[in-house]
Amino acid sequence: MLQSEEEVKEFLKYYNYLKEKNTNSPDVHDIILSEHDSYQEALKLFQRRFNLRETGNLNPETLEAINSPRCGFPDYKDTPLSSKKPNSFTLNDEKWNQPKLSYKVVKYSNKIDKTLIDYNLDKAFQMWGERISLVFEHCKDCDKIDIEIKFVNRSHGDQNPFDGPGKVLAHAFSPENGDVHFDDEEEWTFTGIEGVNFFQAALHEIGHSLGLLHSENNAAVMAPKYSGYIKDYTLHDDDIKGIQALYPRDSKPGDLDPNICDENFLISATTSTHDGHRFFFSGKWVVIIFNNASIKIEKIKYIFKGFEGDRVDAAVYFNEKQYPYNQRTRLMVLFSKNKVHKFERDLGFDFYEASNYPKKTSQDFSIVTNRAGVEEFDAVMAINKTLLFFRDSYFWEVSDEQVSGRKHIKDVWKGVPYPISSALNYEYKGNYYFYFFKKHSYVRFNTKTGSVHKDNANPYPRNSQKLWFSCEKVVTLEEKANTASCIFTYSVGHFYSLLAVFYLFYSFIMPR
């Protein structure tokens, strides 16, 4: 624990609150402004940074803040200028100049589960990735990596030794190094209030790897001090503004989130994961209904890293109980025109395109394209180890690398309107539910009766947006046209009213 004035001075120098004047240095960063030369001014600056009383004295509350668990990255790149605005993110001069970054743990902790480390790192990278245009790849088998992650202790070869448990928790390097080091002597945890939450620390350090410095907003993820365990920890608005200042998303006119309650929002593909999340694709967007009923709207490419198509025509998810074609488990397969994209899902919610993809559908699913004579499908659905490919009024079954002959939808899926636009096989509490979508409506298929489910109180087909997206009202094209007409009529009427007022003013008030 730091207590003496000399120890505190070294602390303030290390974190760039205080530097010794060196006017002979050719490096401009070593030439320090006089207002920050003194120890007292440096203490005041530290106190201001952490919302303490600015006394310039080493009082107990200042000592407590100095000895709090924190990141080992300096709070300022050099001694800060007085013109720096408070409560704002801070950018580094460096950033990554490539669209895709790889990361890998090159040295794991000996004390905690590797799987939990990977899961939380993936979750942290995804949280940053959702806000910017960079794509991240957890490449465990690659030799050349952009961001290397290590668990180390004390002196570990980078001139920034750790100091044991409870002090400096981790540190990271700016682009284009970006490596992250965690102190393996810390008590890393993944839930609860004991120890240091690994996800929170990882989210912070990755911010440094991407080019963010410490924020002066103490509520931000990029604040220098560890804040203790926070449930549902996520990026602060200050963090988002900072990272998007470095890596602006490729926004264009019309890129605002779509209105999912608009009649134009047509569902082109649907699927669900083994843990109950449902995906609805429309154009370049995906709507995710999580298993807790919350809804997320995002561009497809921000969820499915590497996807560059302009739409998804069909989607299917393989869980760990399904092994078609001896593929790896937990795969999301997206069909876009005549191409197939395969995304591997980790233990969290990250989807990364598998190597050597996309491929042509005729190359990856030749067994069905050769039989069907087409390379594009309306929907694909997985039932246990069987895949169903739908096109127009027909479908084909693929099982054990054998494909059935062409079957008519009306003969097997009685009452289902065709051609369908998408199909969803949803498992809930051990029961399977089949839904078929066409334009704005859907039906539920009853496997017991072998036909569309009957519900006299709320009959099928039902409106997809009202029932799945909880839209109270779906805006139709006719209503939008009437609204536009009303606006035009009001505008024209308003113009003539103003013209009449102007005429009266000119005729009776203006001098002649």
Residues in binding site for Ca(2+): 146, 163-164, 179, 183-184, 186, 313, 315
Amino acid at 451: S
Q: Environment class of residue 293 by beta-carbon count within 10 Å: exposed (0-12), middle (13-18) or buried (19+)?
A: exposed
**347 CB neighbour count, 10 Å cutoff:** 13
Question: b/e for 435-458, b at 16 or more Cβ within 10 A?
Answer: bbbbebbbbbbbeeeeebbeeeee
Rounded-to-integer distance, Cα 71 and Cα 167, Å: 8
Q: Environment class of residue 465 by beta-carbon count within 10 Å: exposed (0-12), middle (13-18) or buried (19+)?
A: buried
Tokens encoding 257: 């989130």
Q: Cis omega (within 30 of 0) on the bond before 358?
A: yes
Please give the annotated binding residues for Zn(2+), written as ranges: 71, 156, 158, 171, 181, 204, 208, 214, 222
Q: Which H/E stretch holds residue 494?
A: helix 477-504
Taking alpha carbons only, the member of 204, 200, 209, 198 closest to residue 238 is 204
Q: Which residue has the tokens 């000996």?
A: 110
Rounded-to-integer distance, Cα 255 and Cα 262, Å: 15
In 242-385, at which residue ranges do the beta strands (DSSP E only) sit?
269-272, 278-282, 285-289, 295-299, 304-305, 314-318, 331-336, 339-345, 351-353, 359-360, 379-383
Residues labelled catalytic:
205
Sequence-separated (6 or more) residues with CB below 8 Å from residue 221: 200, 203, 204, 207, 215, 233, 235, 236, 239
Q: Which residue has the tokens 């290390």?
A: 14
Contact status, residue 442 vs residue 461, Cβ threshold 8 Å: yes
Beta partners for residue 104, in sequence order: 148
Taking alpha carbons only, the member of 411, 380, 383 closest to residue 396 is 380
Please give the annotated binding residues, written as ranges: 71, 146, 156, 158, 163-164, 171, 179, 181, 183-184, 186, 204, 208, 214, 222, 313, 315
Contact status, residue 102 vs residue 184, Cβ threshold 8 Å: no
Taking alpha carbons only, the member of 185, 207, 186, 108 closest to residue 149 is 108
Q: Which long-range contacts (CB under 8 A, 24 or more apart) does 384-387 make?
A: 384/321, 384/322, 385/322, 385/323, 385/324, 387/316, 387/324
Tokens encoding 108: 């794991």
